[in-house]
A and B are shown apart, each in its own frame.
Chain A
Amino acid sequence: MKVMICPLNGPRNISEFTYGGEFKPMPNPDTCSDSEWAAYVFNSEDTLGVVREWWMHTPSSYWFLAERHTVTDDIIRTFDPRELFSTRVEFTAAQPQEIAG
């Protein structure tokens, strides 16, 4: 069984982790075309080489990112998502209209 190094918990059996899908930035849902959105939601790159993936250490519910080579299955590095997401993400398209009650 493969070992992956969790940035929080250190080296662990791969069975302690949950795969979270490939890492891909969401296109702006208000401005992208239908086909761009469909590609984001449904398509996978199937890259031959280094890919970025979401993984979660299941016992601690800790999400992180891994860079993995799809040919050799070598995990090149794992890192906290803060490296890529350091600030609050805002969505400000429509004006909120909500009726209290």
Chain B
Amino acid sequence: MSLPNRLPAPMGLLIDRNQPLTFSFDGTAYQGLQGDSIASALLANGRFLLSRSFKYHRPRGPLSMAGQDANSLIQLPHEPNVLADCQLLTQGLEASGQNFNGSLENDKDAYLGKFSKFMPVGFYYRSFYKPKGIWKFWEPIIRKKAGLGVLDLDFKPEYYDKAYLFADLAVIGAGPAGLQAALTAADAGAKVLLVEQQSILGGSLNYARFDIDNRRANTLRNQLIEAVQAHANIHILTQATCNGWFADNYLPVIQGKRLYKVRASQCLICSGSFDQPVIFRNNDLPGVMLTSAAQRLMKLYAVKPGKRAVVLTGNDDGYLAALDLYEQGVDVVALVDLRSGPSNRDLLVALEKRSIRCHLATTVYEALHDKGMRHITGVELRSITGQGQVAGHGVTLACDLLCMSGGYMPVYQLLCQAGGKLAYNDAAAEFTLSGLPNNLGVAGSANGRHTLDNVLADATNAAATALTALALPCPTQQSFKAEARVNFPWPIFPHPKGKDFVDFDEDLQVNDIINATRIGYRDIQLVKRYSTVGMGPSQGRHSALPTARLVAASTQRSVSETGITTARPPFEAEKLAHVAGRAFDPFRQTPMHAQHLAAGAKMMPAGIWQRPAYYGKASERERCMQQEALHVRTKVGLIDVSTLGGLDVRGPDAGELLNRLYTFAFLKQPVGRSRYALMTNEQGVVIDDGVCARFAEQHFYVTATTSGVDRIYQQMLKWNAQWRLNVDIANVTAALSAVNLAGPDARKVLQTLCTDIDLSSAGFPYLGVRQGTVAGIKARVLRVGFVGELGYEIHVPSRHGATLWQALMNAGKAYDIRPFGVEAQRLLRLEKGHVIISQDTDGMTHPDEIDMGWAINRSKPFFVGRRSLDILQAQPAKRKLVGFTLPTGSPKPLEGHLVLNGPDISGNVTSCEHSQTLGQIIGLAYAAPEQSTPGQQIPIRVDGGLVVQATVVQLPFFDPDNQRQEL
């Protein structure tokens, strides 16, 4: 098919001329080709205006053609802020502009530019903050004028994920340096990961010109790419962005919908450099682009960037680009060199031969435009008379394309994130990097090497350094040849009428930066925050260097002293979906999980465990809980307590270890008995409790709270890493399933399943522990006062948990057994005044405050927290945990509600529930010591500020003599 706007091959590396695509932009239909970006396809159709600027709504066209600027941000149906020069064109795509009022072509807010002198930097902060609160009025209006794209709130979640990727050497960037380094390292045996942002390898070899004859790049490109692609040791990721550098070469690399978490022993950054704009009036309008952008358009997309071109350059590369344009049929009106001439005189001859006029020591002072500023129509040239100064008059040339190149800025972001320091080399007018960590290197133009020979030598040397660190054979060091300066030191030509943009994203002009320093923001970080320079989507890629130069000059310091702002990840915008990836939310289930669900349990989280809250509908929580509790008090209930922590402590020093860790004494605890075990930390704060059962002289089984057991286990190991006692500590929490069979009929139920233990009150008394068989399963049976009823805690290997549950439910049928959940358990335990660690205790609670003084043995030589408890005990008590009651029907206090003492707050409610058994509201609360005598009234402030007077009572609320559990 005929493609009038396309250049003939070999231009168009990325496009497939045989695959036309149709698409629309802002409602107009266009044709593009497979391989086009949206921007290249629009340009092929002669459409340059892609967006409106953020603040002044100025027309903008492509600047870099490499996704490095905000000019090409457009709106897709389901996604805002898409880079048109990166996004691959697809058939039927419907794209539109964003940030305009009316249409992109005719933006009603374009008048804003005329008021720019009334909207200086800091304008919002200074104009809209008085009177207080007025910002709330202005904010939505301003946000609308200065907003970007539109979010699709009906989005459908898509599958994003993450994966680790491992390599000996990660090479970031597959230009000449990256290709050469990857090849060198892979040849030596290293496993190399090569990460490239573009869809093809080659970097600048794909679009830049390195010599007058234009021979070198293509040959080298083919040779390197072929070798790299064929190499078994090189893993290539294209269209992949390394978006940050984290410690020890942990590199987030985004490719498609996956975030690779790359871990590389060595890393080499070959990220190249950013072509830099020249600053003059109207340097932002469509038709003005970076020289490399014009080259990319031609070589990658076969798009002719204009008919009549002016090339403005501060280095020899502009001359080579002029040759490119000339060869592709563009009328090159002039080459404008900021310098007094090229360093390679052959370039002048080459241009002369083609009748391209060269203007030396000259700059573009202003880009001229049509009425709507939709494209440039020409340029005004002026000769340079000093730093940033020009002659009073100039010449005007008509053109529709202005290519500019003021020099290069290394793509330093990843390197600076790794701790690299930038210093400005005045001779080269370039930033250079130093101070990288040992496992990180840099090569190529990011390292200030610009000629191909030097780039390749630099890459070989950097690869050799990495290979040495990997203990692999490495090639000999290569030497470098002198190279010409590529940066013009002052490509900044302020215009009295402004519109000389330093930062295109934020519409910042030269005066905005200088004024910031005059107001007193001399530090580059403050200039950034005040002016917002570098804070837009392109993150200072084109503004950091001129800003550093301007601030330095304005504050009479060197550029090195001024520096640049901190580079932080991400390198470019990333989606939250990439960061979130696939969510891992671990959960734990007991072996009886399916049985609970079958019985209609409403599950609740307990740490990461899933436990039955109660059995019944969510709407009937209160009724279920009360009935389950009442059932335990009157008949028999069964609860799954598998989540309870369990630790086996075995060996000759088992008792000694527990003696040191828990407040009680355990050395003389008889086999077959259990003791309450309370643990404090070194500050004397209560951190856990449980039951310590002694099954053998050298075998203790200690339970711990569900949420605390892992931490307690770890603390035990840590202490014994120091004490070196002869003992083994095993966390058997998941290995043992447990149930608590409780209620007046518990013994009768158990008797039907357990024949090898004497279950009589005398044979197996309260606090006794036995090993035997239950339902044919080897079991540990503990008689504990868990809910204040006759009860047996039965622990069996987890593989038998479901069998045990079923057997007990079957055996209990005759006694009307029913399962109960955590809610009923908490109520039953509250009725007994049992303190739940971390529910009724906090990070300050010590044993005396919760009446646990009895659980402390002070005659033993040591236990953790002992010394702190001694100190605390010598001080007056500050608070006490008390039981309180309120009549049924009174407003029910909730956890956290405050207890008052005159005008002061003396404590808070920790647990509170209505008890059907007791016919009143019961609860636990911290109160002042003088409020803790039973019979006293304590005021509790409940919801709505209401204060209720609760009565302090002696604990426990139910069965004060504990007769029921000791049956």
Contacts and interface: CB of A to CB of B under 8 A. Distances in A.
Given A1-B246, A91-B660, A101-B670, A41 B682 contact: yes
Contacts of B250: 1-2, 13
Contact of A61 (B669, B713, B867): B713
A60 to B, nearest CB: 10
Summarize A's interface: helix, strand, loop or mixed: loop
Contact of B718 (A32, A34, A56): A56
A100 B668 contact: yes
B722 A93 contact: no
Interface in B853-877: 857-862, 866-868, 871
A58 to B, nearest CB: 8
A92 B714 CA distance: 25
Choose among B660, B673, B861 the residue with the greatest number of A CB atoms under 10 Å from its CB.
B861
Given A56-B718, A91-B660, A91-B862, A34 B871 contact: yes
A56 B247 contact: no
B718 A20 contact: yes
B866 A29 contact: yes
Nearest to B731: A61
Contact of B860 (A29, A41, A89, A94): A94
A41 B667 contact: no
A10 interface: no
Interface in B68-117: none
Nearest to B247: A2
Nearest to B164: A13
B721 interface: yes
Interface in A1-30: 1-3, 13, 18, 20, 29
Contacts of B862: 29, 91, 93
B850 interface: no
Contacts of A87: 724
Interface in B709-724: 713-714, 717-718, 721-724
Contact of B717 (A61, A96, A101): A61
B739 interface: no
A89 B726 CA distance: 11
Interface in B644-688: 660, 665, 667-670, 673, 682-683
Contacts of A40: 682
A100 B670 contact: yes
A79 B441 CA distance: 30
B247 A98 contact: no
A101 B675 CA distance: 9
A99 interface: yes
B895 interface: no
Nearest to B666: A98
Contact of A85 (B248, B714, B724, B861): B724
A29 to B, nearest CB: 4
B725 interface: yes
B36 to A, nearest CB: 39
Interface size band for B: 35 or more
A40 B865 CA distance: 12
Nearest to B250: A1
Interface string B721-764: 11111100001000000000000000000000000000000000
Nearest to B874: A34
A101 B823 CA distance: 34
A29 B867 CA distance: 6
Contacts of B246: 1
Contacts of B714: 18, 56, 61, 63
Contacts of B665: 96, 98
B868 A96 contact: no
Contact of B859 (A3, A38, A96): A96
Given A34-B871, A73-B247, A100-B670, A42 B683 contact: yes
Contacts of A47: none
Nearest to A63: B721
A44 interface: no
A81 B721 contact: yes
A38 B683 CA distance: 8
A81 B722 contact: yes
B725 A41 contact: no
Nearest to A100: B668
A37 B684 CA distance: 12
Contacts of A1: 246-248, 250
A64 B788 CA distance: 43
B861 A91 contact: yes
A97 B721 contact: no
Contacts of B724: 85-89
A98 B660 contact: no
Contacts of A18: 714
A6 B250 CA distance: 18
Contacts of A2: 247-248, 250
Contacts of B263: 3
A98 B868 contact: no
B721 A37 contact: no
Contacts of A20: 718
A18 B721 CA distance: 15
A94 B868 contact: no
A17 B868 CA distance: 29
Nearest to A80: B721
A89 B861 CA distance: 12
Interface of B: 246-248, 250, 263, 660, 665, 667-670, 673, 682-683, 713-714, 717-718, 721-726, 731, 857-862, 866-868, 871
Interface of A: 1-3, 13, 18, 20, 29, 32, 34, 37-38, 40-42, 54, 56, 61, 63, 73, 81, 85-89, 91-101
**Complex A-B, nearest 10 residue pairs according to Cβ-Cβ distance, in ascending order:** A91-B862, A97-B859, A29-B867, A98-B665, A2-B247, A91-B861, A100-B668, A3-B248, A81-B721, A1-B250
6 contacts: A29-B862, A32-B867, A37-B871, A38-B871, A85-B722, A101-B673
Given A63-B721, A81-B721, A85-B724, 9 more contacts: A1-B246, A34-B871, A54-B718, A56-B717, A63-B718, A88-B724, A89-B723, A99-B668, A101-B673
